[in-house]
Structure 1
Amino acid sequence: MKPYKPSIINKTAKVLARPLSMLVANSRTESVARLAEAYWCVLLGKGSGSGWAFDTEINAAKNAIKTSSPILFDVGANIGEWSFQLNKLFPQAQIFMFEPLPNCQQIIKTKNITNSLLIPCAVSSSKGLVRLHTPSETSPIASLHQRYDSYSQDREFTTIEVNTITIDDIIEEYKVERVDFMKMDIEGHELEALQGAKKSLKNKVIRALTFEFGIGNINSRTYFRDFYELLSSLDYQIYRILPSSQLMHIKEYYEDCEYFRGATNYVAIVT
């Protein structure tokens, strides 16, 4: 339901807005009201990717994969935990991991993930040499964009130079005929990564993918509308991952999808 459309519910809500606002928006109840607002959004999947339930992301991938021997892309592998868990679920999987931080690469190697290839680069829309900003040697919030969000304000970031590649180039180089699932967690740079995978998306080589949207997109100045227009134009259906592991279908774009608190996880599946 869109709030601007006339309805009995909307008319009733407008009448009740003034007394309810006086009740919940005052100096004594403001903090509780804001907490309740955030939690209600989490129940709808908004911001629920902020460490609430890693297993929901695993379940979303598991349910979208339709073969016992999938080809998986882990874009922003960090220390390889997602790939490690998927490898346990699909022992015959072939996994490509993309991770630019050297210390993360060393940890990934100790996990001995079978049938895997570690590509020591960041993923973007083109090849090049860029700056990666990170508060630690293995930080999961390292980003190709300088971070000005409130979550990062008290952290000291250092900068290193890393190489970038594109998904299209890797698919062509390794002659990958299909990617059954691609997970992306690259702190606001997901849209650029998708731009570098446009050929593969258009040709439906990538069957399903996940991406984060939220606080990192403030730094990259990208909107959910950008993702929606790109993916829907290429015949992908977009779903929000809920804390229950269920999926909420985003049937059409609406501005309330522009939710920047924490991180919201989405799945896009080709039709």
Structure 2
Amino acid sequence: MKNLLSKAILKILKKTKLYDSETSLTSSLSRCVTRQTIINTIIDVGASNGCWSATARKYFPTAFYHLIEANPWHAQSLENLKTQWKNYDYTLAAAGDIVGEIYFNDSDPFGGLASHTQSEETNLKIPVVTIDSIVEKYKLPPPYLLKLDTHGFEVPIFEGAVKTLSNTNLIIVETYNFDINPQSLRFPQMCQYLEQEGFRCIDICDPLFRNQDKALWQFDLFFIPSSSLFFQDNQWR
């Protein structure tokens, strides 16, 4: 029955053009749907102008969306979404392991890096929140999907989400194949870190290869709880 349901959902997604190549974001999200991943709140960290959440809403239309974005450049776009979307709110701040202030590099509207220390690159002081504080403040209902596009600042963000992680069904995190800064984790280290936190990798999307040598640069990894029944089946069929 479950396999028939999954095939039916996949057929609908293909007909409605919500399914793309196997390594696209849309195909990975569609596989989350076929696995019947239950999500009540999506917390989009590094949300920029909300474009990632706009895609995710096609697959999780009933979830509440709370977007967290550090770069003030996107403030108006995020505010505009409040007039367009139901079940939506946002916080203009960095996410981290403390509530207070932090330094940020805002030179790239769709990039940026948070840091606890000021430098030539990270010289803008902005507010910082923890995911746990946002969940508590807005009474966001579990289970959660955490999406991180945070350019190497993932560990402090996870450290500020200890309570939230205990009620999280899906993590989507942008990971790298290179040491993009001293504090970042390359993708094998990210897998090891999150496995220690109780999550295993279930999917992948959007591999990006750098121009000069076509080396694998980055991709998004999907993690679900290690206790999932999917990991009890070690067979290829």
TM-score normalised by length of structure 2: 0.68
Partner Cα distance (2:160, 2:111) in 1: 21
1:235 equivalenced with 2:198 (yes/no): yes
Give 1 or 2: higher helix fraction: 1
1:134 equivalenced with 2:106 (yes/no): yes
Matches for 1:98-117 after TM superposition, within 5 Å? 98-111=68-81, 112-117=84-89
Stretches of structure 2 that go unaligned for 5 or more consecutive residues are 1-20, 208-214, 229-237
1:201-227 CA distances to partner (integer Å, 9 max, x unpaired)?
A: 2x2x11111111227853143334543
Which amino acid is 1:268 matched to?
Answer: F
Aligned pair partner of 2:175 in 203, 213, 228: 213
Over aligned residues, Cα RMSD in angstroms?
A: 3.1
CA contact (8 A) 1:135 1:158 kept: no
Partner of 2:3: none
Stretches of structure 1 that go unaligned for 5 or more consecutive residues are 1-52, 147-155, 245-259
Matches for 1:75-114 after TM superposition, within 5 Å? 75-111=45-81, 112-114=84-86
Q: Residues 220 and 166 from structure 1, CA distance in 2 versus in 1: closer, same or farther, beyond 3 angstroms?
A: farther
Matches for 1:9-20 after TM superposition, within 5 Å? none
Q: Residues 130 and 242 from structure 1, CA distance in 2 versus in 1: closer, same or farther, beyond 3 angstroms?
A: closer
1:269 equivalenced with 2:230 (yes/no): no
1:159 Cα offset (Å): 3.6
Partner Cα distance (1:162, 1:215) in 2: 29
Q: Which runs of 4+ in 1 moved over 6 A?
A: none
Partner Cα distance (1:207, 1:69) in 2: 7
Aligned pair partner of 1:168 in 125, 132, 145: 132
Partner Cα distance (2:169, 2:73) in 1: 31
Identity level (%): 22
Partner Cα distance (1:176, 1:195) in 2: 18
TM-score normalised by length of structure 1: 0.61
Q: Residues 82 and 182 from structure 1, CA distance in 2 versus in 1: closer, same or farther, beyond 3 angstroms?
A: same
Q: Residues 73 and 58 from structure 1, CA distance in 2 versus in 1: closer, same or farther, beyond 3 angstroms?
A: farther
Which amino acid is 1:160 matched to?
Answer: L
Partner Cα distance (2:169, 2:154) in 1: 17
1:126 Cα offset (Å): 1.2
SS in 2 for 1:218: coil
How many residue pairs are counted as aligned between the two chains?
191
Partner of 2:232: none
CA contact (8 A) 2:39 2:145 kept: no
1:164-192 CA distances to partner (integer Å, 9 max, x unpaired)?
A: 11111222223334143211101111121
Partner of 1:123: 95
Q: Quick check: which has more Rg, 1 or 2?
A: 1
Give 1 or 2: higher strand fraction: 2
Q: Residues 216 and 195 from structure 1, CA distance in 2 versus in 1: closer, same or farther, beyond 3 angstroms?
A: farther
1:112-140 CA distances to partner (integer Å, 9 max, x unpaired)?
A: 2321011111111111211111224xx11
Q: Residues 238 and 68 from structure 1, CA distance in 2 versus in 1: closer, same or farther, beyond 3 angstroms?
A: closer
SS in 2 for 1:107: helix
Partner Cα distance (1:216, 1:166) in 2: 26
1:61-93 CA distances to partner (integer Å, 9 max, x unpaired)?
A: 343253687311111100110112222443322
Q: Residues 91 and 238 from structure 1, CA distance in 2 versus in 1: closer, same or farther, beyond 3 angstroms?
A: closer
1:183 equivalenced with 2:147 (yes/no): yes
CA contact (8 A) 1:211 1:267 kept: yes
Partner Cα distance (1:120, 1:162) in 2: 9
Which amino acid is 1:222 matched to?
Answer: S
Partner Cα distance (1:75, 1:217) in 2: 21
